[in-house]
Chain A
Amino acid sequence: MLDTGYRVEIPGGINLDAQVVGPIPRCFAFAIDLAIRGIIFFVLLIASIPFGPTGLGGGFLLIFLFAVEWLYPVLFEVYWRGQTPGKKALGISVINDDLTPVTLGVSLVRNLLRSIDFIPLFYLVGLVTMLSNRRFQRLGDLAAGTLVISVRESNRPALQRDIVPLAPSTPLLRTEQTSIIEFLQRSQQLSEPRQRELAAILEGITHEKGDDGVEQLHRIGAWFLGVR
């Protein structure tokens, strides 16, 4: 199984967890950026025509073309929390492998090596490299020591307020308590038949069947949570 978890011990004395991101969201992010760059270039192209395509206008156009090709990702990654507009849209972000933000030099290395990841066509080298290591790093990421992680916040549905907590009839291990809490927390994401199915496994604890069993489990979960 693919494990996208990534863990680093930070100076705060704790292990910090992050989720690395695979090729698909990164492709979408790149496509969005490509479109944005295309639009910028097109606008500049139009704007440069009055100034002479082989004169002043053309000169500035070439400089902008250079900037859009090589510096666009660098400037966004360094000065906009590791995110180009495409990455922001996908909720992903570039970060050093110790989970500190990327610096100018690191981002430069990462993005200059893009030209190798791109060969022979459409990031084939980058894709193969990404798929051959556990952290989905392309060559530029490997040389710069960077990762692309997910920064999208998971939205957790609010707990129902009206549950009356109930002490379980038998003492339970801490891990078992956590499972029941999780069952309560995730109850809105689980279908009712599935909830009944899961609750049936714990009939020995709830001493109830069907919907009553589910209800009992929710109440026990609330009790473990400490709801009063």
Chain B
Amino acid sequence: MKQHDFEQQHRPTWQLIENSLENPAQEDNSKILAQHYLLLCQHLAIAKERLYDAALVERLNGLVLALYRELYRYRAETRLNFYAFFKRDFPLAIYRHRYFVLLAFLVFVLPGLTAGAWTYFDEEAVYSILDAPEVRQVERMYDPEARKLGREREADTDIFMFGFYIKNNISVAFRCFAGGIVLGIGTLLVLFFNGMFIGSVAGHLTRLDYVETFYPFVVGHGSFELTAIVFSGAAGLRLGYALVNLGQFSRLDALRLAGRDVVPMLYGIFLMLVIAAFLEAFWSSSTTLSNEVKYAVGALLWTLVLVYSCSGRRYESR
């Protein structure tokens, strides 16, 4: 068959597909698209095989591509299953990355403990880690005389602090993950320095005997926040490790597999940090709640987070 006849014969079909692609969500149109997919593939194959001219092949190729993308389109309503995510996917992802979690934990906590001990025993030490304005700011935030705890002087509502924590904490966690692509080095640095920072603040404030304001403030949201930072470190290290230990894959394939592997971790980290920001802004900062209540709720939250994080093992297929 000559090209001209071929085009004449099938133009109505192509026109129909093109029209349907303009409004693919409509039920009739999606039926038309599904029914014509293989036919259109065949037309493209024929056009190529018979060496019809490039313009026709290009047009059919573009049409198949558009149709293909429509058929395989992401459908949120079928893919996002929150229940399955909370129950299984996130704990399982944590379990499967448990060695990375452990490593991230160590790189985060060991510098923290070291810096904490150092600043606790040595008055000058905190100035080797933080600069003077930062130290003053931290002291002001947890001053037992303060009206509200853990707050910048200029902020006057909890909502503002909620936005502030969302913006800053989640950005830190995302960067911590992203740094993993540089052979994990970026992630290690973020974990190390954040650990040192938090540790030195804790050590310094303990030495100043701000215990009654600092610990009740951090114990609640710390459960979600610190754990999420460790998880983001684990996700970043997974990326970096994929670039070093390739297994049976090419470097690019190993990286890509790691990238798809950590996705549940990323969702989980995001949600945990939103919860942490909420707690930090509206719960931890409260001065009307007694410290006993904060410690009790803090202990409950920590237990909850840790038990949940360790619940993934049973979903591992053997």
Q: Which chain A residues lie closer than 8 Å to B80 at the CB level? A: 104
Known: A100-B72, A143-B256, A143-B258. A66 touches B170 (CB 8 A): yes
Q: Which chain A residues lie closer than 8 Å to B48 at the CB level? A: 14
Interface status of B272 (Cβ within 8 A of chain A): no
Docked-complex contact B69 and A81, CB < 8 angstroms: yes
**In the complex, A113→B175 CA distance in Å?**
8
**In the complex, A144→B16 CA distance in Å?**
34
**In the complex, A54→B50 CA distance in Å?**
69
Taking the closest CB of chain B, its distance from the CB of A149, in whole angstroms, is: 8
Interface status of A214 (Cβ within 8 A of chain B): no
- B51 partner, pick from A100, A102, A154, A174, beta carbons under 8 A: A174
Instruction: Kindly supply a per-residue 1/0 record for chain B positions 257-270, scoring 1 wherever the CB is within 8 Å of any chain A CB and 0 otherwise.
Output: 01110111011000
Sample of 12 further A-B pairs with CB below 8 A, known A59-B161, A104-B76, A185-B55: A55-B156, A55-B160, A56-B160, A59-B160, A63-B163, A79-B76, A95-B69, A104-B80, A105-B260, A108-B263, A115-B174, A116-B179
Interface size for B (C-beta < 8 A) is: 69
Q: Which chain B residues lie closer than 8 Å to A114 at the CB level? A: 178
Interface status of B171 (Cβ within 8 A of chain A): yes
Interface status of B87 (Cβ within 8 A of chain A): no
Interface status of B154 (Cβ within 8 A of chain A): yes
Docked-complex contact B159 and A112, CB < 8 angstroms: no
Interface status of B195 (Cβ within 8 A of chain A): no
Taking the closest CB of chain A, its distance from the CB of B175, in whole angstroms, is: 5
Chain A residue with minimal CB distance to B61?
A17
Give me the 5 closest cross-chain CB pairs, A-B, nearest first: A226-B2, A62-B163, A105-B263, A12-B41, A226-B4
Taking the closest CB of chain A, its distance from the CB of B182, in whole angstroms, is: 7
- B186 partner, pick from A116, A144, A145, beta carbons under 8 A: A116
Taking the closest CB of chain B, its distance from the CB of A185, in whole angstroms, is: 5
Q: Which chain B residues lie closer than 8 Å to A175 at the CB level? A: 51
**In the complex, A108→B53 CA distance in Å?**
40
Taking the closest CB of chain B, its distance from the CB of A93, in whole angstroms, is: 8
Q: Which chain A residues lie closer than 8 Å to B174 at the CB level? A: 70, 112, 115
- B260 partner, pick from A14, A17, A101, A106, beta carbons under 8 A: A106
Taking the closest CB of chain A, its distance from the CB of B214, in whole angstroms, is: 23
Known: A12-B64, A14-B44, A116-B178. A105 touches B267 (CB 8 A): yes
Instruction: Kindly supply a per-residue 1/0 record for chain A positions 46-74, scoring 1 wherever the CB is within 8 Å of any chain B CB and 0 otherwise.
Output: 00000010111011111101100110000
Docked-complex contact A69 and B171, CB < 8 angstroms: yes
Interface status of B293 (Cβ within 8 A of chain A): no
Chain B residue with minimal CB distance to A107?
B74
5 A-B residue pairings within 8 Å (CB atoms): A55-B157, A60-B163, A105-B266, A108-B263, A224-B3
Q: Which chain B residues lie closer than 8 Å to A228 at the CB level? A: 4
**In the complex, A79→B58 CA distance in Å?**
26
Interface status of A156 (Cβ within 8 A of chain B): yes
Q: Which chain B residues lie closer than 8 Å to A63 at the CB level? A: 162-163, 166-167
- B53 partner, pick from A14, A139, A154, A185, beta carbons under 8 A: A185
Interface status of B318 (Cβ within 8 A of chain A): no
Q: Which chain B residues lie closer than 8 Å to A205 at the CB level? A: none
Interface status of B68 (Cβ within 8 A of chain A): yes
Taking the closest CB of chain B, its distance from the CB of A128, in whole angstroms, is: 13
Interface status of B59 (Cβ within 8 A of chain A): yes
**In the complex, A145→B255 CA distance in Å?**
9
Docked-complex contact A178 and B53, CB < 8 angstroms: yes
Docked-complex contact A16 and B64, CB < 8 angstroms: yes
Interface status of A193 (Cβ within 8 A of chain B): no
**In the complex, A171→B167 CA distance in Å?**
72
Taking the closest CB of chain A, its distance from the CB of B146, in whole angstroms, is: 16
**In the complex, A16→B2 CA distance in Å?**
23
Known: A116-B182, A154-B58, A178-B53. A59 touches B171 (CB 8 A): no
Chain A residue with minimal CB distance to B63?
A153
**In the complex, A79→B25 CA distance in Å?**
13
Known: A60-B163, A61-B163, A101-B73. A12 touches B65 (CB 8 A): no
Chain A residue with minimal CB distance to B6?
A226
Docked-complex contact B53 and A10, CB < 8 angstroms: no
Interface status of A181 (Cβ within 8 A of chain B): yes
Docked-complex contact B45 and A116, CB < 8 angstroms: no
Interface status of B79 (Cβ within 8 A of chain A): yes
Interface status of A166 (Cβ within 8 A of chain B): no
Instruction: Kindly supply a per-residue 1/0 record for chain A positions 143-185, scoring 1 wherever the CB is within 8 Å of any chain B CB and 0 otherwise.
Output: 1110000010110100000000000000000110110011001
Docked-complex contact A59 and B164, CB < 8 angstroms: yes
Docked-complex contact B74 and A142, CB < 8 angstroms: no
**In the complex, A65→B162 CA distance in Å?**
13
Q: Which chain A residues lie closer than 8 Å to B41 at the CB level? A: 10, 12-14
